[in-house]
Amino acid sequence: MKSFQNILIYGLGLMGASLSLSLKKKNLAKKITGVVRSEKSKLKGIELNIADEIFTEKQFLNQSWNQFDLIVFGLPVDLTCEKILLLPLNFSGVITDLGSTKKEIIEVVENKFSTSHNYISSHPMAGSEQTGLEFAKDNLFESKLCILTKPKNFNEVVFVELKQFWESIGSITIEMNASEHDEVLTYLSHTPHILSSILVNWAYQNKKVQEKTDSFPFPLTGGGFRDMSRIAGSNPEMWDAIINSNKKNIIQSLKEFKEEINKLAQELESGNSKEDFWKEYFNNSRKSRSKILKLKE
């Protein structure tokens, strides 16, 4: 695998910082430079030895992009798009991001680079309900999927290098185009995140739930609810950007989910369901789950 001399991770949040630690653990970069938003994050990053050199965004303004041979944007999608506009057109290194939606990023890249370029978009499907570099883990990407998306005019050598880069820290790579990516992720990540966030608000809005919860020192939930609510409300800024960059798919998927709720509510209200209606529904769910998670039945 190509080894990088000076990697820039622009945005040392949970994802960017975990990438830095993963690379350091495997000795895959000679030097890693990180950019953070605040002075406070910079101090925290230095204390936790997240990168070899850390700049705040302001401090980084004087720096040249050309000193790096790999640039990774670890930012919300909207900010990633803004930064892409600042890149030098003749940048000779590899460029990527960690964005959770692809359509906007790929559009910006294709508008920016009208001839051959070194940008390939990445979506490592790892994360946590926690936010910030203090929760970074050096094994966050191990055995996790990383989806690679090629803009027009991409450089084939760079694609191979980036694929190897992710595989070298233990990720499993797959390629999808931007439209496929955004549609598939709508169902497997974006809208589930919204549903988990609805779940906790909806439950806590119930007066009885609120009264009983507030008056008892322990949570009234079992493991099912706890699992379903794990990602609820996590990283509002990142998710705001995801939702706003994938609206059309999300609206469509919400409608479908609502239709499915309607169907089941009507079934319950009708009072004349087939005897095995629910058993069949749940058996079907079990099968769908096994298919999606690749479990043996």
| Chain residues 122-181 in contact with a second copy, contact rule CB under 8 A | 125-128, 144-145, 172, 174, 176, 180
Two tokens, residue 158: 């760079």
Closest distance to a second copy from the beta carbon of 83 (Å): 20
Closest CA to 63 of 82, 83, 39, 48: 83
Task: Tell me which DSSP letter residue 143 carries.
Answer: T
Closest distance to a second copy from the beta carbon of 190 (Å): 10
Structure-token match 């069949």, residue found: 280
Which residue number, 82 or 280, has a Cβ lying nearer to a second copy? 280
Q: Does 82 bind a second copy (CB under 8 A)?
A: no
Q: Does 262 bind a second copy (CB under 8 A)?
A: yes
CA-based torsion, 202, 207, 208, 209: positive or negative: positive
Q: Does 247 bind a second copy (CB under 8 A)?
A: yes
Q: Does 184 bind a second copy (CB under 8 A)?
A: yes
Stretch that binds a second copy, among 54-62, 68-76, 148-156, 251-259 (CB under 8 A): 251-259
Q: Does 111 bind a second copy (CB under 8 A)?
A: no
Rounded Cα–Cα distance for residues 196 and 202 (Å) = 10
* Structural contact between residues 25 and 140, judged by C-beta atoms closer than 8 angstroms: no
**Cα angle 245-257-187, degrees, rounded to a multiple of 5:** 45
Closest distance to a second copy from the beta carbon of 165 (Å): 18
Closest distance to a second copy from the beta carbon of 22 (Å): 17
